[in-house]
Amino acid sequence: MSTAVATSLPLLDLSRLEQGPAARAAFLSDLRQAARDIGFFYLTGHDLDPQLLDRVQYLSRAFFALPEAQKQAVAMINSPHFRGYNRAASELTRGQPDWREQFDIGAERPPLPQTEHTPGWTRLQGPNQWPAALPDLKPVLLRWQAEMTRMALRLLRAFAEALALPVDAFDTLYGDKPNEHIKLIRYPGRSHTGSDQGVGAHKDSGFLSFLLQDRQKGLQVEVEPERWVDAAPLPGTFVVNIGELLELATNGYLRATVHRVVSPPAAQDRLSIAFFLGARLDAVVPLYQLPPALAAQARGPASDPHNPLLRDVGWNYLKGRLRSHPDVAERYYPDVLRASSELSV
């Protein structure tokens, strides 16, 4: 890894895909290198409407400014699908509380029928909760979700091409029901007399993650062991990172990288809006056969021995939700918790 790469994240322009064969080939080469060497990069040229991005950020701040009672009316504890609001310190990362309040939204779909033999992960599908006091939030976020899915699938096809796979190699993992997940996140400021864990060090579990940041820094990426780089906000960009399932699918050629968020100083806060593109819940992630030259550079997936990856997508996502939200797990998934040895929860 070069010194420049080790001290900053690369900036990639998605519009180069449409600027002729030479620009396309150069973009695919840069994408492959960034995703393999760091696993994080800034993305520009993504063609999302700047006014839509501004509106999403405005409404996100409006949500967090609601009275506590109105936010608690859509609390996640009301949802077996892990949708809704959590106050700061409700979610855990590696067993420690994260100092952030957040609102989780998934794909807006009806719940699946349940029987005593239905797999527990099927309970992840279902409707979102929406605050009555902010009626514009639902249409704007669902529009943004659809636009992000379109753009993310375009980028994922570019990944397939960069890896010399068929351009539609990943399509069957998504079908018509990708696992779309949005998090609105507010990090309150806090003094440094205690923990500064906004979010503890972790890897994302899905395929691709996109982060829309405000002007306050806080995201840090572990580019090398114990070497952290700030992913400072760049206007008009998303920070994109590889998730563990994409690392698993490429036998570690693509890199899922540990990252964390440091709380802002007292009297300040930080807003970020995350979009996670995941495979459909009933998919099983295969091991894609890369060309020999690329396969020889694959490092194998670096799974956490205390949180092993599962190729069964639904079980893998459910395992992560149960670990992060034990209150929701105890209320709606006591049967799955009793069988936790199977899931390594």
Q: Give tens-digit pLDDT for 306-318.
A: 555 668 899 989 9
212-271: per-residue pLDDT in tens? Answer: 999 999 999 999 898 999 999 999 999 999 998 899 999 999 999 999 999 898 889 999
163-175: per-residue pLDDT in tens? Answer: 999 999 999 999 8
Helix, strand, or coil (residue 38): coil
Question: Are 102 and 184 contacting, i.e. CB atoms less than 8 angstroms apart?
Answer: yes
* Alpha-carbon distance values, 307 to 40, 75, 154, 265 (Å): 22, 26, 30, 31
* pLDDT level of residue 195 (50, 70, 90 thresholds): confident
Strands (E), the chain: 11-13, 40-44, 84-86, 92-93, 96-97, 101-106, 179-188, 197-202, 208-213, 219-224, 227-230, 238-242, 259-262, 269-278
Please give the pLDDT value at position 189. Answer: 86
Whether residue 4 has pLDDT greater than 60: no
Distance CA 142, CA 128 (A): 11
pTM reported for the whole predicted model? 0.92
2 CB-near residues (< 8 Å, 6+ apart): none
Beta bridge partners of 248: none
Distance CA 230, CA 147 (A): 27
Instruction: For the domain made up of 3-343, give the CATH fold.
Output: Jelly Rolls (2.60.120)
Distance CA 277, CA 58 (A): 23
Q: What's the rounded mean pLDDT across residues 296-300? A: 90
Cβ neighbours, 10 Å, residue 292: 7
Q: State which amino acid sits at residue 172.
A: T
